[in-house]
Amino acid sequence: MTHRKDQEGCAVLTVGSLALDSVKTPLGKVDEALGGAAVYSAVAASFFSRAMVVGVAGEDFPRQHLEFLESRSIDTQGIQLVPGKSFRWAGRYDYDLNQAHTLRTELNVFSDFHPVIPEAYKDAKYVFLANIDPGLQLEVLGQLRGPKLVICDTMNFWIEGKRDKVIEVLGKSDIAFMNDAEARELCGTTSLVKAADVIRSYGPKVAIIKKGEHGALMFTDHTHFAAPAYPLAEVKDPTGAGDSFAGGFIGYLARTDDLSERNLRKAVVYGSTLASFNVEDFSLERFRRLTYPEIMERYKEFKHISFFEEVDMLDPGHVIFHHA
Ligand code: AMP
Protein backbone atom coordinates (compact mmCIF):
# COMPACT_ATOMS: atom_id res chain seq x y z
CA MET A 1 0.00 0.00 0.00
CA THR A 2 1.43 3.39 -0.92
CA HIS A 3 2.32 5.69 1.92
CA ARG A 4 0.96 9.20 1.37
CA LYS A 5 2.57 12.33 2.75
CA ASP A 6 -0.76 13.40 4.25
CA GLN A 7 -1.11 10.09 6.15
CA GLU A 8 1.83 10.16 8.54
CA GLY A 9 1.89 8.92 12.15
CA CYS A 10 0.09 5.78 13.32
CA ALA A 11 -2.56 3.90 11.37
CA VAL A 12 -6.23 3.54 12.31
CA LEU A 13 -7.98 0.18 12.33
CA THR A 14 -11.73 0.41 11.77
CA VAL A 15 -14.27 -2.36 12.04
CA GLY A 16 -17.86 -1.73 11.07
CA SER A 17 -20.47 -2.03 8.37
CA LEU A 18 -19.87 -1.71 4.64
CA ALA A 19 -23.26 -0.90 3.26
CA LEU A 20 -25.45 -0.16 0.32
CA ASP A 21 -27.65 2.63 1.64
CA SER A 22 -30.98 3.86 0.30
CA VAL A 23 -31.65 7.26 1.79
CA LYS A 24 -34.33 9.88 1.34
CA THR A 25 -34.04 13.40 2.75
CA PRO A 26 -35.99 16.60 2.03
CA LEU A 27 -33.29 17.48 -0.55
CA GLY A 28 -33.20 14.25 -2.56
CA LYS A 29 -32.58 10.55 -2.46
CA VAL A 30 -30.13 7.82 -3.38
CA ASP A 31 -30.64 4.10 -3.92
CA GLU A 32 -28.08 1.52 -2.91
CA ALA A 33 -25.30 4.08 -2.61
CA LEU A 34 -21.98 3.42 -0.90
CA GLY A 35 -22.29 3.73 2.88
CA GLY A 36 -21.62 1.93 6.13
CA ALA A 37 -20.03 2.97 9.38
CA ALA A 38 -16.61 1.53 8.51
CA VAL A 39 -16.60 3.22 5.13
CA TYR A 40 -17.45 6.71 6.38
CA SER A 41 -15.04 6.48 9.29
CA ALA A 42 -12.13 5.04 7.32
CA VAL A 43 -12.47 7.59 4.55
CA ALA A 44 -12.67 10.45 7.08
CA ALA A 45 -9.62 9.07 8.95
CA SER A 46 -7.70 8.76 5.69
CA PHE A 47 -7.46 12.56 5.43
CA PHE A 48 -5.01 12.38 8.35
CA SER A 49 -3.62 8.88 8.68
CA ARG A 50 -3.43 5.46 7.09
CA ALA A 51 -6.57 3.41 7.62
CA MET A 52 -7.28 -0.33 7.61
CA VAL A 53 -10.78 -1.76 7.39
CA VAL A 54 -12.21 -4.96 8.80
CA GLY A 55 -15.66 -5.92 7.53
CA VAL A 56 -17.57 -8.04 5.09
CA ALA A 57 -19.25 -7.43 1.74
CA GLY A 58 -21.30 -9.68 -0.50
CA GLU A 59 -20.58 -10.56 -4.10
CA ASP A 60 -22.98 -7.79 -5.19
CA PHE A 61 -20.79 -5.07 -3.62
CA PRO A 62 -19.65 -2.96 -6.59
CA ARG A 63 -15.94 -3.32 -7.26
CA GLN A 64 -15.59 0.44 -7.76
CA HIS A 65 -16.49 1.02 -4.10
CA LEU A 66 -13.46 -0.97 -2.99
CA GLU A 67 -11.36 0.81 -5.61
CA PHE A 68 -12.46 4.12 -4.15
CA LEU A 69 -11.23 3.05 -0.70
CA GLU A 70 -7.95 1.90 -2.22
CA SER A 71 -7.61 5.20 -4.08
CA ARG A 72 -7.49 6.84 -0.64
CA SER A 73 -4.70 4.42 0.35
CA ILE A 74 -7.07 2.58 2.68
CA ASP A 75 -5.93 -0.98 3.33
CA THR A 76 -8.78 -3.32 2.34
CA GLN A 77 -7.20 -6.72 2.99
CA GLY A 78 -9.36 -7.03 6.13
CA ILE A 79 -12.55 -6.89 4.05
CA GLN A 80 -13.92 -10.37 3.40
CA LEU A 81 -15.77 -10.79 0.12
CA VAL A 82 -18.22 -13.66 0.49
CA PRO A 83 -21.10 -15.19 -1.45
CA GLY A 84 -24.44 -13.58 -0.62
CA LYS A 85 -25.95 -10.12 -0.42
CA SER A 86 -24.20 -7.13 1.15
CA PHE A 87 -25.54 -5.35 4.24
CA ARG A 88 -28.27 -2.88 3.31
CA TRP A 89 -29.76 -0.02 5.25
CA ALA A 90 -32.70 2.16 4.21
CA GLY A 91 -33.53 5.32 6.04
CA ARG A 92 -35.48 8.54 5.79
CA TYR A 93 -34.98 11.97 7.31
CA ASP A 94 -37.71 14.56 7.60
CA TYR A 95 -37.07 18.24 8.26
CA ASP A 96 -35.49 17.39 11.62
CA LEU A 97 -32.27 16.06 10.15
CA ASN A 98 -31.00 14.96 13.55
CA GLN A 99 -33.48 12.12 13.54
CA ALA A 100 -32.87 9.17 11.20
CA HIS A 101 -35.91 6.95 10.65
CA THR A 102 -34.74 3.45 9.83
CA LEU A 103 -36.99 1.85 7.22
CA ARG A 104 -35.03 -1.39 6.76
CA THR A 105 -31.93 -3.06 8.16
CA GLU A 106 -30.85 -6.14 6.19
CA LEU A 107 -27.85 -7.72 7.89
CA ASN A 108 -27.36 -10.26 5.05
CA VAL A 109 -23.67 -11.27 4.97
CA PHE A 110 -23.18 -9.68 8.40
CA SER A 111 -25.47 -12.33 9.97
CA ASP A 112 -22.78 -14.98 9.97
CA PHE A 113 -19.67 -12.90 9.71
CA HIS A 114 -16.75 -13.43 12.06
CA PRO A 115 -13.90 -10.97 11.71
CA VAL A 116 -10.47 -12.38 10.99
CA ILE A 117 -7.84 -9.74 11.66
CA PRO A 118 -4.96 -9.92 9.18
CA GLU A 119 -1.57 -10.36 10.86
CA ALA A 120 -0.53 -6.91 9.62
CA TYR A 121 -3.38 -5.27 11.59
CA LYS A 122 -2.87 -7.00 14.93
CA ASP A 123 -0.49 -4.42 16.34
CA ALA A 124 -2.76 -1.50 15.43
CA LYS A 125 -2.51 1.19 18.08
CA TYR A 126 -5.60 3.22 17.18
CA VAL A 127 -8.80 1.22 16.91
CA PHE A 128 -12.28 2.40 16.06
CA LEU A 129 -15.09 -0.08 16.76
CA ALA A 130 -17.67 1.53 14.52
CA ASN A 131 -21.33 0.68 14.54
CA ILE A 132 -21.74 -3.08 14.12
CA ASP A 133 -22.97 -6.00 16.22
CA PRO A 134 -21.22 -5.50 19.62
CA GLY A 135 -20.40 -9.22 19.66
CA LEU A 136 -18.27 -8.63 16.56
CA GLN A 137 -16.63 -5.60 18.16
CA LEU A 138 -15.55 -7.91 21.01
CA GLU A 139 -14.26 -10.52 18.57
CA VAL A 140 -12.05 -7.87 16.97
CA LEU A 141 -10.66 -6.68 20.29
CA GLY A 142 -9.88 -10.27 21.25
CA GLN A 143 -7.52 -10.58 18.27
CA LEU A 144 -5.48 -7.41 18.85
CA ARG A 145 -2.14 -7.17 20.68
CA GLY A 146 -2.39 -4.23 23.04
CA PRO A 147 -3.98 -1.28 21.24
CA LYS A 148 -3.14 2.16 22.66
CA LEU A 149 -6.59 3.69 22.14
CA VAL A 150 -9.92 1.92 21.62
CA ILE A 151 -12.94 4.00 20.66
CA CYS A 152 -16.39 2.48 20.34
CA ASP A 153 -19.65 3.59 18.79
CA THR A 154 -23.07 1.98 18.68
CA MET A 155 -26.70 2.78 17.84
CA ASN A 156 -30.23 2.21 19.12
CA PHE A 157 -30.56 -0.99 17.06
CA TRP A 158 -27.87 -2.65 19.22
CA ILE A 159 -28.76 -0.87 22.49
CA GLU A 160 -32.25 -2.33 22.18
CA GLY A 161 -31.19 -5.73 20.86
CA LYS A 162 -27.89 -6.47 22.64
CA ARG A 163 -27.64 -4.10 25.57
CA ASP A 164 -25.40 -6.35 27.70
CA LYS A 165 -22.90 -6.75 24.91
CA VAL A 166 -22.89 -2.98 24.29
CA ILE A 167 -22.00 -2.48 27.96
CA GLU A 168 -19.29 -5.16 27.73
CA VAL A 169 -17.73 -3.30 24.78
CA LEU A 170 -17.83 -0.05 26.77
CA GLY A 171 -15.93 -1.85 29.53
CA LYS A 172 -13.06 -2.48 27.12
CA SER A 173 -12.99 0.97 25.49
CA ASP A 174 -11.09 4.15 26.30
CA ILE A 175 -13.49 6.52 24.59
CA ALA A 176 -17.21 6.05 23.87
CA PHE A 177 -19.10 7.84 21.13
CA MET A 178 -22.84 8.04 21.18
CA ASN A 179 -25.41 10.43 19.89
CA ASP A 180 -27.66 12.22 22.35
CA ALA A 181 -30.73 10.00 21.83
CA GLU A 182 -28.65 6.82 22.17
CA ALA A 183 -26.96 8.08 25.34
CA ARG A 184 -30.34 8.88 26.88
CA GLU A 185 -31.74 5.50 25.86
CA LEU A 186 -28.76 3.50 27.15
CA CYS A 187 -28.54 5.38 30.43
CA GLY A 188 -32.24 5.96 31.11
CA THR A 189 -31.91 9.67 31.79
CA THR A 190 -32.84 12.87 30.01
CA SER A 191 -29.68 14.63 31.22
CA LEU A 192 -26.65 14.28 28.97
CA VAL A 193 -24.40 15.20 31.89
CA LYS A 194 -25.76 12.27 33.90
CA ALA A 195 -25.67 10.01 30.84
CA ALA A 196 -21.98 10.81 30.37
CA ASP A 197 -21.36 9.83 34.00
CA VAL A 198 -23.16 6.53 33.51
CA ILE A 199 -21.28 5.80 30.27
CA ARG A 200 -17.97 6.56 31.99
CA SER A 201 -18.93 4.34 34.93
CA TYR A 202 -19.04 1.41 32.45
CA GLY A 203 -15.35 1.90 31.66
CA PRO A 204 -14.38 4.61 29.15
CA LYS A 205 -12.42 7.53 30.60
CA VAL A 206 -13.93 9.83 27.99
CA ALA A 207 -17.51 10.05 26.70
CA ILE A 208 -18.27 12.03 23.57
CA ILE A 209 -21.90 12.80 22.94
CA LYS A 210 -22.79 13.97 19.45
CA LYS A 211 -25.74 16.28 19.08
CA GLY A 212 -26.04 16.51 15.30
CA GLU A 213 -26.52 20.09 14.17
CA HIS A 214 -26.01 21.22 17.79
CA GLY A 215 -22.39 20.11 18.03
CA ALA A 216 -20.67 17.67 20.35
CA LEU A 217 -19.81 17.41 24.05
CA MET A 218 -16.73 15.71 25.44
CA PHE A 219 -16.71 14.62 29.09
CA THR A 220 -13.48 13.61 30.82
CA ASP A 221 -12.60 13.04 34.49
CA HIS A 222 -12.55 16.65 35.40
CA THR A 223 -13.76 18.82 32.54
CA HIS A 224 -16.14 18.99 29.72
CA PHE A 225 -15.72 20.60 26.34
CA ALA A 226 -18.44 21.82 24.00
CA ALA A 227 -17.79 22.14 20.27
CA PRO A 228 -20.33 23.77 18.00
CA ALA A 229 -21.45 22.26 14.72
CA TYR A 230 -20.52 24.23 11.63
CA PRO A 231 -23.50 26.34 10.58
CA LEU A 232 -24.31 25.05 7.10
CA ALA A 233 -26.98 26.67 4.96
CA GLU A 234 -27.83 23.36 3.33
CA VAL A 235 -27.55 19.81 4.66
CA LYS A 236 -28.33 17.32 1.91
CA ASP A 237 -27.86 14.05 3.75
CA PRO A 238 -26.85 13.58 7.41
CA THR A 239 -26.09 9.86 6.93
CA GLY A 240 -22.62 9.04 8.14
CA ALA A 241 -22.11 12.28 10.07
CA GLY A 242 -21.37 10.41 13.28
CA ASP A 243 -18.94 8.05 11.59
CA SER A 244 -17.22 10.88 9.75
CA PHE A 245 -16.88 12.67 13.07
CA ALA A 246 -15.34 9.58 14.63
CA GLY A 247 -13.02 9.00 11.66
CA GLY A 248 -11.77 12.58 11.68
CA PHE A 249 -11.32 12.42 15.45
CA ILE A 250 -9.33 9.19 15.58
CA GLY A 251 -7.47 9.91 12.34
CA TYR A 252 -6.16 13.16 13.79
CA LEU A 253 -5.18 11.47 17.09
CA ALA A 254 -3.38 8.67 15.23
CA ARG A 255 -1.50 11.15 13.11
CA THR A 256 -0.35 13.21 16.10
CA ASP A 257 -0.07 10.27 18.53
CA ASP A 258 -0.84 12.67 21.37
CA LEU A 259 -3.62 11.85 23.84
CA SER A 260 -3.46 15.01 25.93
CA GLU A 261 -6.74 16.72 26.71
CA ARG A 262 -5.62 19.70 24.63
CA ASN A 263 -5.14 17.47 21.61
CA LEU A 264 -8.41 15.61 22.22
CA ARG A 265 -10.18 18.95 22.00
CA LYS A 266 -8.53 19.64 18.65
CA ALA A 267 -9.55 16.17 17.51
CA VAL A 268 -13.18 16.92 18.41
CA VAL A 269 -13.05 19.96 16.16
CA TYR A 270 -11.41 18.00 13.33
CA GLY A 271 -14.15 15.40 13.77
CA SER A 272 -16.80 18.10 13.56
CA THR A 273 -15.07 19.51 10.49
CA LEU A 274 -15.15 16.19 8.63
CA ALA A 275 -18.78 15.61 9.64
CA SER A 276 -19.75 19.06 8.39
CA PHE A 277 -18.31 18.32 4.95
CA ASN A 278 -19.86 14.88 4.73
CA VAL A 279 -23.43 16.15 5.17
CA GLU A 280 -23.09 18.57 2.27
CA ASP A 281 -23.83 15.76 -0.18
CA PHE A 282 -25.25 12.23 -0.40
CA SER A 283 -23.28 9.08 0.33
CA LEU A 284 -19.50 9.68 0.20
CA GLU A 285 -19.78 12.24 -2.62
CA ARG A 286 -18.42 15.24 -0.73
CA PHE A 287 -15.41 13.28 0.52
CA ARG A 288 -14.51 12.32 -3.03
CA ARG A 289 -13.77 15.96 -3.86
CA LEU A 290 -12.68 17.19 -0.43
CA THR A 291 -9.14 18.57 -0.14
CA TYR A 292 -6.82 18.94 2.84
CA PRO A 293 -6.65 22.78 2.50
CA GLU A 294 -10.46 22.92 2.71
CA ILE A 295 -10.31 20.97 5.98
CA MET A 296 -7.72 23.35 7.42
CA GLU A 297 -9.73 26.37 6.34
CA ARG A 298 -12.89 25.10 8.00
CA TYR A 299 -11.02 24.15 11.18
CA LYS A 300 -9.92 27.79 11.43
CA GLU A 301 -13.50 28.94 10.92
CA PHE A 302 -14.56 26.69 13.81
CA LYS A 303 -12.12 28.53 16.02
CA HIS A 304 -13.42 31.81 14.80
CA ILE A 305 -17.12 31.03 15.36
CA SER A 306 -16.60 29.79 18.90
CA PHE A 307 -13.93 32.19 20.10
CA PHE A 308 -14.71 34.58 22.94
CA GLU A 309 -12.69 36.78 25.26
CA GLU A 310 -11.65 36.25 28.84
CA VAL A 311 -13.83 38.09 31.35
CA ASP A 312 -12.83 41.75 31.04
CA MET A 313 -15.43 44.35 31.95
CA LEU A 314 -13.22 47.29 30.97
CA ASP A 315 -12.72 46.63 27.26
CA PRO A 316 -15.94 46.70 25.22
CA GLY A 317 -14.01 45.84 22.02
CA HIS A 318 -15.60 46.32 18.62
CA VAL A 319 -18.90 48.22 18.89
CA ILE A 320 -21.75 46.47 17.10
CA PHE A 321 -24.78 48.49 18.21
CA HIS A 322 -24.72 52.29 18.00
CA HIS A 323 -27.57 53.46 20.18
CA ALA A 324 -28.41 57.13 20.20
P1 AMP B 1 -24.41 7.48 11.10
O2 AMP B 1 -23.01 8.04 11.19
O3 AMP B 1 -24.96 7.12 12.43
O4 AMP B 1 -25.32 8.34 10.28
O5 AMP B 1 -24.25 6.06 10.35
C6 AMP B 1 -24.87 5.77 9.13
C7 AMP B 1 -24.39 4.45 8.60
O8 AMP B 1 -24.65 3.39 9.54
C9 AMP B 1 -25.12 4.08 7.32
O10 AMP B 1 -24.23 4.19 6.23
C11 AMP B 1 -25.64 2.68 7.56
O12 AMP B 1 -25.30 1.81 6.50
C13 AMP B 1 -25.00 2.22 8.84
N14 AMP B 1 -25.91 1.43 9.69
C15 AMP B 1 -27.24 1.62 9.88
N16 AMP B 1 -27.74 0.69 10.71
C17 AMP B 1 -26.70 -0.10 11.07
C18 AMP B 1 -26.57 -1.26 11.93
N19 AMP B 1 -27.62 -1.78 12.59
N20 AMP B 1 -25.34 -1.82 12.06
C21 AMP B 1 -24.27 -1.30 11.41
N22 AMP B 1 -24.34 -0.23 10.59
C23 AMP B 1 -25.53 0.37 10.42
pLDDT digits (tens, 9 = 90+) for 117-176: 999 999 999 999 999 899 999 999 999 999 999 999 998 999 999 999 999 999 999 999
Helix, strand, or coil here: 286?
Answer: helix
Q: Is the C-beta atom of 39 inside 6 A of ligand 1?
A: no
| Whole-angstrom distance, CA of residue 191 vs CA of residue 202 | 17
pLDDT of residue 67: 98
Band (pLDDT 50/70/90 cuts) for residue 321 is confident
In the chain, what are the domain boundaries? 12-321
Quote the DSSP letter at residue 213. G
> Tens of pLDDT along 239-279?
999 999 999 999 999 999 999 999 999 999 999 999 999 99
Ligand 1: residue of 131, 159, 283 to mutate (most ligand atoms within 8 A of CB) is 131
pLDDT of residue 212: 86
Decide if pLDDT at 100 tops 60: yes
Shortest-distance Cα residue to atom 19 of ligand 1: 157
- CATH annotation of 12-321: 3.40.1190.20
pLDDT of residue 322: 72
Query: How far, in Å, are 189, 237, 284 from residue 36 at the CA level?
Result: 29, 14, 10
pLDDT of residue 3: 54
Decide if pLDDT at 81 tops 60: yes
pTM of the model: 0.94
Ligand 1: residue of 14, 20, 98, 155 to mutate (most ligand atoms within 8 A of CB) is 155
Residue 149: Cβ within 10 Å count: 20
Decide if pLDDT at 36 tops 60: yes
Q: Is the C-beta atom of 248 inside 6 A of ligand 1?
A: no
Ligand 1: centre distance to CA 311 (Å): 43
Q: Which amino acid is at 232?
A: L
CB distance 278 to 247 below 8 Å? no
Rounded to an integer, the average pLDDT of 294-318 is 85
Query: Residues 6 or more apart from 209 whose CB is under 8 A from it?
Result: 178, 179, 180, 183, 192, 195, 196, 216, 217, 219
pLDDT of residue 310: 82
pLDDT of residue 98: 85
Q: Which amino acid is at 25?
A: T
Q: What are phi and psi of 137, to 5 degrees?
A: -60, -40
% of the chain exceeding 70 in pLDDT: 96
Band (pLDDT 50/70/90 cuts) for residue 315 is low
Ligand 1: centre distance to CA 18 (Å): 9
Ligand 1: residue of 89, 213, 249 to mutate (most ligand atoms within 8 A of CB) is 89
pLDDT of residue 7: 73
Query: Residues 6 or more apart from 297 whose CB is under 8 A from it?
Result: none
Decide if pLDDT at 320 tops 80: no
Q: Is the C-beta atom of 30 inside 6 A of ligand 1?
A: no
Q: What are phi and psi of 73, to 5 degrees?
A: 60, 30
Decide if pLDDT at 314 tops 70: no
CA angle 67, 73, 76 (to 5 degrees): 60
